Amino acid sequence: MPADTPAVAFDPALGLAVLHTPNSTYAVRIGADGSPRHLHWGPALDAASLTDPRSPADSSFEDEAAADELAPQTGARFGPAGLRVRFADGTVGAQWHFDGHRIDDGELRLRLVDRRYPLAADLCYRVRPGSDVIERWTELTHTGETGHIVIDRLDSASWTAPPLSDYRLSHLVGGWFSEFQLQRDRLPVAETVLTSRRGITGHHASPWLALDDGTATEEHGEVWSTALAWSGSWRITVHRNPVGRATWTGGFGHEGLSWNLRPGETLQTPVFAGLYTPDGFGGASRAWHAHVRSQVLPEPDRDQPVLYNSWEATGFDVDTAGQLRLAELAARLGVELFVLDDGWFGARTDDRAGLGDWTPRPAAFPEGLRPLADGVHRLGMAFGLWVEPEMVNADSDLFRAHPDWAVHTPTRDATELRNQLVLNLARPEVEAWVHRTLDRLVAENDVDWLKWDANRPFTEAGWPGHPDPDRLWIDHTRAVHRIMDRLRTDHPGLRIEACAGGGGRVDLAILARTDQAWTSDNTDPVDRISIQHGFSQLFPAQAMAAWVTDSPNGITGRTTPLRFRFHVAMAGALGLGGDLTHWTPEELTEAAELVARYKEIRPLVQHGEQHRLTGAGGTTAVHYAAADGTEHALLAWRPATRFGHQPAPLRLPALDGQARYRDLDTGEEYGGALLRHRGIELRLPVGDHASRLIRLRRLG
């Protein structure tokens, strides 16, 4: 693309909108029926090659017509609709008239108005300098003065891949203890629905996907990927039709929900971001990581502290003296943040009571949290506190005072999960109470870090007396975002860790107001390798909380060496979560050394570029490189030994073939070409759960 080509342009004569990013072009053309149709998303093209008069945008045959940018429910369209509306007279769907465009600072809006009803839609696109990510969303407005319009579906965007010889879908599936498992399968000729009906993003699925033609690898091949920035229920429908087209439409809310759009009201969807890259899945991930850092995370340049969290060590059995003892041990290891987890408040001695009563439990913290917070600060660490502010135990003073605050349907039995119910933060008084409570906790106790948990999905989600009860699915999530934003604004320096029973609510919207996410309650390092692999498809390592805990692991029973546990956790934002009072002096010494090691490579792990590597014999690794290519850290893991063989050398494709590198620990020097094409000898220790950290520096 010539340097002076604007990033966003619209040609009214052709009805052609073109967005250029550094390595891609996206093009849309207004169809004869007024609906924006997809023309191109892929390698950079100039506008002239997009104005092919044979463009099928206007064909009246469904299979020939170009795909919609947001399919309305009218015309010869039989695939999944991105917009479904109902008017008071029973008419469904929109028929658009294109009403013009607006371009403003990298943002394009295509304005559509219904031909007969008071409904308008803005299809919005945004590109940012230096990024290949295209952000899209929709704003739907009731332009009339009376009555409401029922919205049965409002997606953020519909995306279309170009015609490919085949399609393969990559996405993430999982559960509690097994989040972010990468699934990569041929896309069936069918509609494939990825969704959460849980009110949270979900452990079982993530609103990210990637499409390729089945031949892309980690380093090579075209990949089209998208990510929805939403932390509640969502739905993405991927449609591969029999004539070989692949489109997908997605947005907030699951099927069956509806919202009443009131006169004058605009409903704005979350952003659904898309990225084309010709550089394989690794290239796609690096581009997403760069986007998350430059556009999503609130404070990406701050280092994530090495934290200690007491949950696996003490469970609900917390008190000032016991926590201070752990804090002293943690401080000696080089820990920078001490987090007090569940059990410190109300009548919370187990998970049956107390949620909602956010005052220190008198038997455990007779003088409140201040003695612990001050003690932690005196040890030179920041102080963090666990909260689960959206939830309530039925056995709590809060629920006894405000039973109506819980999400419920009066004529239905309320399902309790982990003995708790969800508070309806869509109610303004509940949002205000949650904000007030957290604001006070942070201010009164000098809290530097909140671990914000949400341990259950929504069920029987009603809002008695409210004329438009499904709104709670959107408004609850918005309230969570708003409270986090307010807390950050009012308490500069406060950091927030996102958590939902492990990695149940990790998405681009929660990361816009948190610093890292608790990846999984499963801290077994072998299981973590695949969890972290999936997490890294979209999110950077600095947002991936990873703890070293006790062995055998409390969940899997697996015994692993301390070094292996560290090496796996050092690939993210390192934390410690074991019962340090039971660690031997040798273990404490080794842990202190490894924490120090981590701090040396932290700038690379948290701010460098990540390359995922697969070696031989079940060996995998991640390679973190400084942006200027000078410093490199490689973490390699082999969970199980095979025949006692050393794995073959591991190739490092990210190195410069013309440069030389020194291993900072052994002093050996290598040519970059050798490391790229033959690989580095890993020289793993013998036995299972072998791992190694290798640091390389470019010479000259």
Q: Contact region for ligand GLA (CB under 6 A) — 246-254, 357-365, 398-406, 496-504? A: 496-504
* 135, 155, 279, 341: residue in contact with ligand GLA (rule CB under 6 A): 341
Q: How far is the CB of 384 from ligand GLA (least distance, A)?
A: 11
Residues 444-473, one symbol each (x = binds ligand GLA by CB under 6 A, - = not), give ---------x-x------------------
What's the one-letter identity of residue 164? L
What residues contact 139, with CB distance under 8 A and at least 6 apart?
121, 122, 124, 266, 267, 268, 269
Nearest to 530 by CA among 499, 571, 477: 571
Alpha-carbon gap, residue 59 to 239, rounded angstroms:
20
Cα dihedral 310/311/312/316 (nearest 10): 110
**In this structure, what token pair is assigned to residue 566?**
């560290």
Cα within 13 Å of Cα(43), Cβ side: 5
Query: Which listed residue (41, 452, 518, 637) binds ligand GLA by CB under 6 A?
Result: 518
Do 414 and 408 contact (CB within 8 A), yes or no? yes
- # of chain residues touching ligand GLA (CB under 6 A): 11
DSSP 303-318: PPPPEEE-HHHHTT--
* From 242-250, 363-371, 499-507, 691-699, span contacting ligand GLA (CB under 6 A): 499-507
CA distance to 241, 543, 613, 626, 654, per residue, from 695 (Å) = 49, 22, 15, 12, 14
User: Does residue 177 bind ligand GLA (CB under 6 A)?
Assistant: no
- For residue 561, give Cα distances in angstroms to 199, 227, 345, 641: 39, 36, 35, 14
Q: Which stretch binds ligand GLA (CB under 6 A): 113-121, 498-506, 562-570, 654-662?
A: 498-506
Of 357, 390, 470, 521, the one binding ligand GLA by CB under 6 A: 521
- Residues whose CB falls within 8 Å of the CB of residue 352, separated by 6 or more in sequence, listed in order: 393, 395, 419
Geometric angle at alpha carbon 104, from 98 and 105, rounded to 5°: 145
**Comparison of 360 and 502: residue with beta carbon closer to ligand GLA:** 502
Cβ 532 to ligand GLA, closest distance in Å?
16
Contact mark string toward ligand GLA, 364..403, x via CB under 6 A: ----------------------x-----------------
In the complex, what is the shortest distance from the CB of residue 369 to ligand GLA, in angstroms, rounded to a whole number? Answer: 17
Q: How many angstroms separate the CA atoms of 492 and 481, rounded?
A: 17
Interhelix angle 320-333/585-607, rounded to 10 degrees, is 70
Considering the complex, what minimum distance in angstroms separates the CB of residue 579 from ligand GLA? 15
Cβ at position 511, least distance to ligand GLA in Å: 17
| Contact pattern from residue 310 through residue 339 relative to ligand GLA, giving x for each residue in contact according to CB under 6 A and a dash for the rest | -x----------------------------
Min dist CB 503 to ligand GLA, Å, is 8
Minimum distance of ligand GLA from residue 454's CB (angstroms):
9
Among 221, 502, 608, 672, binds ligand GLA (CB under 6 A): 502
* Of positions 297, 438, 499, 548, contacts ligand GLA by CB under 6 A: 499
Q: Report the SS3 class of residue 132.
A: coil
Partners of 662 in the beta sheet? 669, 697
Residue (395 or 453) nearer to ligand GLA, CB: 453
539 vs 553: CA distance, rounded Å: 26
- Mind telling me the catalytic residues? 453, 521
- 1 or 417, CB closer to ligand GLA? 417
Q: Name the one range near ligand GLA by CB under 6 A: 32-40, 102-110, 495-503, 674-682.
A: 495-503
Could you tell me how far CA 565 lies from the centroid of its own chain?
24
Positions in the binding site for ligand GLA (CB under 6 A): 311, 341-342, 386, 453, 455, 499, 501-502, 518, 521
